[in-house]
């Protein structure tokens, strides 16, 4: 028999006893709780609390007991295993993220990031400084892992404080540090993912605020804020450089340069065909089901003519449908490539200006292409098969719903779809077709 005093059940202290036949508790008032040992089906322990799931002819009851000491665990574990044939599962407390620890680690990341940016590009010292930054990142990443896996309200208390200053500082650094070697390091990618997850949790709880450093913050943070703002307003677009337009569209192997860049890939939305009285642009074909039909469609193919097009951009891609150009007809979707897997309009984000531009995206068995308009032959960007390292939901990273990201070497492509089903389809098909195994 085992016996423990000062065990609490229903708010009352009492004595816990267990023998080969039964488990029971008796309070100071005479109240009792007794269960046959053979009825115990499951047992769990958490910091001195014991929960026993008992079952009798299909009816279940939970016996909740508290006030055990740490030293009581081993005898309880042996009793339940030997007498009841039940394993006592011990839940370990999740470590809480301490604000002071995070602030100290964050300061280390900021200092290391400053040293990276101050070092000459392409030098050995640059690589060494980036390696040092990754060590700092590893510590913060592990702390964020604990925070994300814990209680959401606790996470909010830490990261929503001060107008979301903690996550805002981290986001500011990761958005502006100039990495050359370690930008694809798993530790860095993991940190970006955790940062986005925290932002998503804060948005879900309604506590997220866009943070900017004010007077009194370090000169480094103020400088980074200016850099980020300038990148939104100035700089080159993240489309493929003009030289890419001279590469023959038939030479997939010649497009290897895309693997050295990031690609913002526009994703699909159903797009109705033009009105019946308007002919399709030459080079655009209707989706057909047989090789014979394909041959008939292309039988009288001529040189495509340029389709009139306004390169439209928006600041909020969630407020305007990417397929708005084709919403009036309500007719069946027309495809531009007979062997394509998916096609459709998406909003694609530029790398420097962070502007969202409407693009027609085509996924074929050997590549992913984006065009300024349907029916055009020369793509603005091409991602060959085998170069995609990752495809994932990126709502939190860009603070836009229905967004996904295609990651290739040294570049990410962000696209916003018109609905969640399109987003899921693009992620699934791109990963299946182009993912680098």
Question: Is the per-residue pLDDT at 311 higher than 80?
Answer: no
Residue 301 has pLDDT above 50, yes or no: no
Overall size of the chain counted in residues? 437
Per-residue model confidence (pLDDT) at position 230: 78
Res 279 pLDDT > 80: no
pLDDT given at position 5: 92
Q: With 70 as the cut, is the pLDDT of residue 116 above it?
A: yes
- pLDDT digits over 89-107, tens only? 887 655 456 788 788 888 8
Helix (H, G, I), strand (E, B) or coil at 97: coil
340-352 mean pLDDT: 88
> What is the architecture, at CATH level 2, of domain 2-90?
Roll (2.30)
Q: What are phi and psi of 208, to 5 degrees?
A: -75, 135
Which one-letter DSSP state was computed for residue 21? S
pLDDT tens for each residue of 137-193: 887 877 777 777 667 777 888 888 888 998 999 999 988 898 888 888 888 888 888
Handedness of CA 285, 288, 291, 293 (dihedral sign): negative
Answer yes or no: is pLDDT of 426 > 90: yes
CB-CB contact of 388 with 432 (8 Å): no
Q: Where do the H-state alpha helices sit in 96-160?
A: 99-118, 124-149, 152-159
Residue 418 near residue 323 (C-beta atoms within 8 A)? yes
What is the per-residue pLDDT for 150?
67
User: Which residues does 154 contact at the CB level (< 8 Å), separation at least 6?
Assistant: 96, 97, 147
pLDDT at 346 over 70: yes
Count the neighbouring beta carbons within 10 Å of the beta carbon of residue 203. Answer: 14
How much of the chain exceeds pLDDT 90, in percent?
29
pLDDT digits (tens, 9 = 90+) for 211-241: 888 888 888 888 888 888 877 765 433 443 3
pLDDT of residue 247: 28
DSSP state of 380: S
Name the fold adopted by 243-297+309-434. Answer: PH-domain like (2.30.29)
∠ CA 179-182-184, rounded to 5°: 105
Q: Would the pTM count as exceeding 0.75?
A: no
């Amino acid at each position: 028999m085992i016996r423990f005093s000062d065990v609490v059940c229903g708010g009352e202290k009492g004595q816990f006893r267990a023998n080969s036949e039964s488990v029971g508790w008796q309070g100071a008032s005479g109240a009792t709780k007794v269960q046959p040992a053979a009825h115990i089906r499951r047992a769990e322990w958490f910091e001195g609390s014991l929960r026993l799931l008992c079952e009798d002819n299909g009816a279940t009851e939970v016996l909740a007991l508290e006030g055990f000491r740490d030293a009581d665990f081993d005898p309880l574990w042996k009793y339940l295993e030997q007498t009841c044939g039940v394993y006592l599962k011990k839940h370990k407390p999740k470590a809480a993220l301490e604000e002071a620890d995070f602030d100290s680690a964050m300061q280390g990341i900021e200092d290391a990031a400053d040293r990276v940016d101050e070092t000459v590009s392409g030098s050995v010292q640059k690589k060494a400084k980036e390696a040092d930054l990754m060590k700092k990142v590893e510590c913060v990443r592990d702390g964020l892992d604990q925070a994300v896996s814990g209680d959401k309200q606790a996470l909010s208390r830490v990261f929503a404080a001060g107008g979301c200053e903690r996550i805002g500082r981290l986001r500011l650094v990761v958005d502006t540090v100039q990495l050359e070697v370690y930008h694809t390091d798993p530790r860095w990618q993991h940190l970006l993912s955790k940062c986005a997850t925290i932002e998503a949790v804060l948005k879900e709880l309604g506590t997220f605020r866009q943070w900017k450093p004010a007077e009194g913050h370090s000169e480094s943070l103020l400088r980074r804020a200016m850099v980020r703002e300038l990148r939104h307003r100035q700089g080159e677009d993240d489309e493929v450089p003009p030289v890419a337009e001279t590469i023959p569209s038939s030479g997939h192997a010649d497009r290897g340069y895309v693997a050295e860049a990031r690609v913002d890939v526009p994703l699909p939305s159903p797009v109705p065909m033009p009105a019946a009285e308007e002919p399709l642009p030459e080079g655009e074909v209707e989706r057909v089901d047989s090789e014979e039909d394909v041959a008939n469609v292309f039988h009288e193919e001529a040189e495509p003519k340029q389709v009139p097009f306004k390169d439209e951009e928006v600041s909020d891609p969630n407020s305007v449908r990417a397929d708005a150009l084709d919403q009036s007809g309500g007719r069946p979707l027309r495809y531009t490539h007979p062997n394509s897997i998916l096609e459709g309009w998406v909003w694609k984000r530029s790398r420097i200006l962070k502007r969202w531009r409407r693009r027609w995206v085509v996924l074929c068995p050997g590549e992913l292409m984006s065009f300024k308009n349907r029916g055009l032959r020369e793509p603005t960007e091409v991602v060959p098969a085998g170069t995609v390292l990752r495809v994932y939901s990126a709502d939190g990273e860009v603070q836009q719903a229905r967004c996904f990201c295609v990651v290739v070497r040294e570049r990410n492509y962000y696209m916003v779809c018109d609905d969640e089903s399109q987003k899921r389809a693009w992620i699934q098909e791109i990963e299946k077709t182009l993912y680098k195994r």
